[in-house]
């Protein structure tokens, strides 16, 4: 299938502007047609036993990787190695611990996202890993406290979709098969292996399926079906989602594998499942394919042609990324880091969001005396990797816990870098590395500034940390963080709060403290934590991260809560800022918000709709991601951004689109449909170009599919979802 490249339809309208690098999530240049042809030929050489071996994992703990299949010598097919996870090589010792997805999202920087993916791919290849199990497009994050949200890219489907595509293209360009997971509607850890999720068709398309469409469009090799049921049917045997949505509608040509032990019946093959992992339950007893699949094929319960199709898809993905030629042998412990820590530092740093900076307390300017407070300022005293799968929150926090975590090759904690910097500046630095409030005053008093570290952690439900069984119990800082900040702020009027967190934390108590002058949202920086933080605190770079989720004033403001039983997704389209907008709830810090050490002005909006764009349903053949015309640019918006402050910095202009209310059904008041990261020296300007695709203008209609409504579309460009600076409109008839 040939992919259409995304071209600027209305390019002539913006002649004279130098378009910024604002390419849409572009289609992959990998050649599925050629890969499928090779795979068909190979399938013809295989015995039935070979075929069953290719689709069946060898069983839990029976190979070098978390998932393994058997080799087939007649086609030089190797023992396939599938390894977690979304931020590096799980159980590695010489691999980089990349910042989690949520930190990459927080940079809003496509180039950094793509480079992170490429480097992860290079490392996986260096370790002989064929399939690296990421990126994560679900959970999307409808629950602010969902345990695994940090593995993905936040609750906006557009931002998540871009991040998915960039990551996948980066990984697969390096020769590794990516795996878009978890498909689909697995939004919480509680009861994830028993509960059923049901969501209306429109919400499915406009929120949860959206990032997977971008993943397919990016050429993703594999998709992992999730643990939960959908409408009462297990995700891994749900024909509606695997066949109808993923294959028929999105044009996915790769293979579907189970989440680990998420298969329930042999006949899942008939619903569209292609590979079972790890091939047995964790006790090694229950095996659903292997000999059982052979019997099912022999008895006609699973068609032989279906087995051939499963194998063809798996082999095609292997050929697609060139793994049939000279792929390295498996060595999970290989030293593969290269210079990838530069990307870690850049993502950690450029994902830092400055939330508050009264009286320009930051950046620090050679303070005479600095106080550093909190257990999270220093590396875990028991060792940076002392907790299995990072299943503890002790010391500095760099990632959440679970199968999506990895070992750190090293860990630069905040205090490590602060101490070095203080020595260079001649600053006296004192440390209280506990969360006890008693000793705080003596350390904080008299310092030019006091930096206090607080955290909130979450992870996968098979580990419980401080009574949090995956999902967070609440949105408060851990370890008495509010009391700690209160004590520090009472002792020092220049208190800087640094938050390392998996997701939103309620900051109301902290913001009430008069001494709190600055709040630095440092997210999940992984191994380069201290270096990234000091780059920002001392103004080596201006902070440029933007929140990839809303920070509310109260937990109830989010309007969703973890289901105790099945979840019918009653909130529909209204999660995160869509909900705050619809209900006119004032967030504490809006989605997309982040301060800088400089100022940016927005000007000169132009809006040009292609004369050819007409209202109505999408059409055309299905290409990777959906119907072909969905990906055509139908409107172009430009604006000018000026750095009007005194230092270099980067702004993230965000385009929010509002559908015409006259003909579209009730829709979220505005939705992110474009963004760019613009780096500007002080006093300089740049032009940003946003290309809106037909899909960006569409809503999902249950009968007609994606439909562009007629009427007036409103475009807002802003510095956050609640700081809209420019407005324009265009009409579609
Ligand atoms: C689940 O059921 C709802 C309600 O009947 C329906 O709108 C939706 O399309 C179904 N989804 C799937 C994936 O079957
Ligand atoms: C940005 O502008 C605001 C007022 O418009 C001003 O208060 C602030 O100091 C400026 N910040 C910088 C870093 O120039």
With a cut of 50, say whether residue 2 has pLDDT above it.
Answer: no
Going by alpha carbons, the residue nearest to atom 7 of ligand 1 is 200
pLDDT of the residue at 570: 98
Per the CB < 8 A criterion, the answer to whether 547 and 594 are in contact is: yes
Name the 3-class secondary structure at 68. Answer: strand
- What pLDDT shows up at residue 439? 86
Angle at 29 between CA 164 and CA 125, to 5 degrees: 65
Question: 451: which strand partners?
Answer: 372, 496
The confidence band for 460, taking pLDDT boundaries of 50, 70 and 90, is very high
714 lines ligand 2 (CB under 6 A): no
**Any ligand 2 atom below 6 A from CB of 643:** no
d(C-alpha 401, C-alpha 408), whole Å: 13
Calpha distance 519→274 (Å, rounded)? 48
pLDDT tops 90 at residue 500: yes
State phi, psi for 546 to the nearest 5 degrees: -130, 140
Between 428 and 663, the higher pLDDT residue: 428
Residue 4 confidence (pLDDT) above 50: no
Mean pLDDT of the chain, nearest integer = 95
Q: How far is the CA of 266 from the centre of ligand 2 (A)?
A: 64
Q: Could you check whether the bond before residue 85 is cis, i.e. omega within 30 degrees of 0? A: yes
Mean pLDDT of 90-102: 97
Return the H-helix or E-strand segment holding 166: helix 157-173
- Adjacent-strand bridge partners of 701: 705
Q: Is the separation of the CB atoms in 497 and 424 below 8 Å?
A: no
Ligand nearest to the CA of 539: 2
Q: C-alpha distances in angstroms, 164 versus 113, 121, 320, 698?
A: 9, 14, 18, 21
Q: What pLDDT was estimated at residue 15?
A: 30
DSSP secondary structure letter of residue 620? S
Q: Which residue is closest in CA terms to ligand 1's atom 4?
A: 200
Distance separating alpha carbons of residues 359 and 383, to the nearest angstrom: 38
Pocket of ligand 1 (CB under 6 A): 198, 200-201, 230-231, 240-241
Pocket perturbation via mutation, ligand 2, pick of 645, 651, 723, 725 by most ligand atoms within 8 A of CB: 645
Bridge partners, residue 636, by sequence: 608, 691
Q: Report how far apart, in Å, the C-alpha atoms of 224 and of each of 403, 582, 674 are.
A: 14, 33, 28
In 130-184, beta strands by DSSP E: 131-132, 177-183
What pLDDT was estimated at residue 27? 62
Query: How many other CB atoms are there within 10 angstroms of residue 122's CB atom?
Result: 21
Scanning 492-524, the segments in alpha helix (DSSP H) are 508-511
Tokens in use for 494?
């220049």
Please choose, from the candidates 186, 90, 119, 160, the residue with its C-alpha nearest in 3D space to the C-alpha of residue 401.
Answer: 90
Residue range 1-12: mean pLDDT, rounded: 30
Residue nearest to atom 3 of ligand 1 (CA): 200
Q: Which domains does the chain have, with CATH numbers?
A: 11-16+340-549 (3.40.50.1700), 31-86+259-329 (3.20.20.300), 600-732 (2.60.40.10)
| pLDDT tens by residue, 709-726 | 999 999 999 999 999 999
Residues 225, 238: Cα–Cα separation, whole Å:
9
For residues 651 and 664, the model is more confident at 651
- In this prediction, residue 9 carries a pLDDT of 28
- What is the per-residue pLDDT across 229-245, written as a single tens digit (0 to 9) for each? 999 999 999 999 999 99
Which residue has its alpha carbon closest to ligand 2 atom 8? 599
Per-residue pLDDT of 26-83, as tens digits, reads 467 899 999 999 999 999 999 999 999 999 999 999 999 999 999 999 999 999 999 9
pLDDT 10s digits, 604-659: 999 999 988 999 999 999 999 999 999 999 999 999 999 999 999 999 999 999 99
């Amino acid at each position: 299938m040939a992919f259409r490249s995304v071209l600027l339809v209305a390019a002539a309208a913006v002649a004279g502007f130098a378009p910024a690098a604002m390419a849409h999530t572009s289609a992959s240049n990998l050649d599925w047609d050629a890969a499928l042809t090779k795979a068909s030929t190979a399938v013809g050489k295989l015995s039935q036993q070979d075929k069953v071996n290719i689709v069946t994992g060898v069983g839990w703990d029976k190979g070098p990787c978390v998932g393994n299949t058997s080799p087939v010598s007649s086609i030089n097919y190797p023992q396939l190695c599938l390894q977690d996870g979304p931020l590096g090589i799980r159980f590695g010792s010489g691999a980089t611990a990349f910042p989690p997805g949520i930190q990459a999202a927080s940079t809003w920087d496509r180039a950094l996202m793509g480079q992170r993916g490429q480097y992860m791919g290079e490392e996986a290849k260096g370790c002989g890993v064929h399939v690296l199990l990421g990126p994560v497009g679900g959970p999307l994050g409808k629950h602010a406290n969902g345990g695994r949200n940090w593995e993905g890219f936040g609750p906006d489907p557009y931002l998540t979709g871009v991040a998915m595509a960039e990551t996948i293209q980066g990984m697969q360009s390096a020769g590794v098969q990516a795996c878009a997971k978890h498909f689909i509607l697995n939004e919480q850890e509680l009861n994830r292996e028993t509960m059923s999720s049901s969501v209306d068709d429109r919400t499915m398309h406009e929120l949860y399926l959206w990032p997977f469409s971008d993943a397919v469009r990016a050429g993703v090799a594999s998709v992992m079906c999730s643990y939960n049921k959908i409408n009462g049917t297990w995700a891994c045997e749900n024909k509606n989602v695997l066949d109808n949505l993923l294959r028929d509608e999105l044009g996915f040509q790769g293979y579907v594998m189970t989440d680990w032990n998420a298969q329930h019946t042999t006949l899942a093959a008939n619903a569209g499942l292609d590979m079972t992992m790890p091939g047995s339950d964790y006790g090694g007893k229950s095996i659903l394919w292997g000999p059982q699949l052979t019997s099912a094929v022999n008895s006609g319960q699973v068609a032989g042609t279906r087995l051939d199709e499963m194998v063809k898809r798996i082999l095609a993905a292997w050929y697609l990324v060139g793994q049939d030629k000279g792929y390295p042998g498996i060595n999970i412990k290989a030293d593969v880091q290269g210079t990838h820590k530069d990307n870690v530092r850049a993502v950690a740093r450029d994902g830092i969001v400055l939330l508050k900076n009264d009286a320009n307390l930051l950046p620090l300017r050679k303070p005479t005396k600095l106080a550093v407070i909190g257990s999270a300022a220093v590396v875990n005293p028991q060792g940076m990797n002392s907790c299995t799968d990072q299943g503890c929150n002790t010391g500095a926090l760099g990632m959440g816990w679970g199968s999506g975590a990895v070992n750190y090759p090293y860990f630069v904690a905040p205090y490590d870098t602060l101490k070095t910097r203080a020595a260079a500046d001649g600053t006296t630095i004192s440390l209280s590395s506990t969360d006890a409030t008693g000793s705080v005053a003596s350390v904080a008093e008299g310092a030019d500034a006091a930096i206090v570290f607080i955290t909130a952690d979450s992870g996968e439900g098979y580990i419980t940390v401080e009574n949090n069984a995956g999902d967070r119990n609440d949105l408060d800082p851990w370890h008495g963080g509010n009391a700690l900040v209160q004590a520090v702020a009472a002792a020092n009027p220049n208190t800087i709060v640094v938050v390392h967190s998996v997701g939103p934390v309620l900051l109301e108590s902290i913001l009430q403290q008069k001494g709190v002058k600055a709040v630095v949202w440092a997210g999940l920086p992984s191994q380069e934590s201290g270096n990234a933080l000091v780059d920002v605190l001392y103004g080596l770079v201006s902070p440029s991260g933007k929140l990839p989720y809303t920070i509310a004033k109260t937990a109830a403001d989010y309007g969703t809560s973890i289901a105790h039983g099945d979840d019918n997704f009653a909130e529909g389209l209204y999660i995160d800022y869509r909900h705050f907008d619809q209900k006119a709830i004032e967030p504490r810090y809006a989605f997309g918000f982040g301060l800088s050490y400089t100022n940016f002005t927005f000007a000169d909006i132009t809006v040009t709709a292609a004369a050819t764009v007409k209202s109505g349903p999408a059409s055309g053949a299905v290409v990777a991601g959906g119907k072909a015309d969905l990906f055509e640019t139908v409107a172009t918006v430009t604006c000018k951004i000026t750095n009007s402050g005194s230092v270099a910095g980067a702004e993230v202009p965000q385009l929010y689109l509002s559908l015409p209310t006259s003909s579209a059904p009730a829709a979220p008041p505005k939705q992110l449909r474009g963004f760019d990261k613009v780096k500007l020296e002080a006093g300089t300007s740049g032009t940003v170009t946003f290309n809106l695709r037909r899909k960006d203008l569409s809503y999902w209609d249950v009968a007609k599919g994606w439909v562009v409504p007629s009427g007036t579309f409103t475009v807002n460009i802003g510095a956050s979802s609640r700081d809209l600076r420019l407005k324009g409109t265009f009409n579609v008839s």
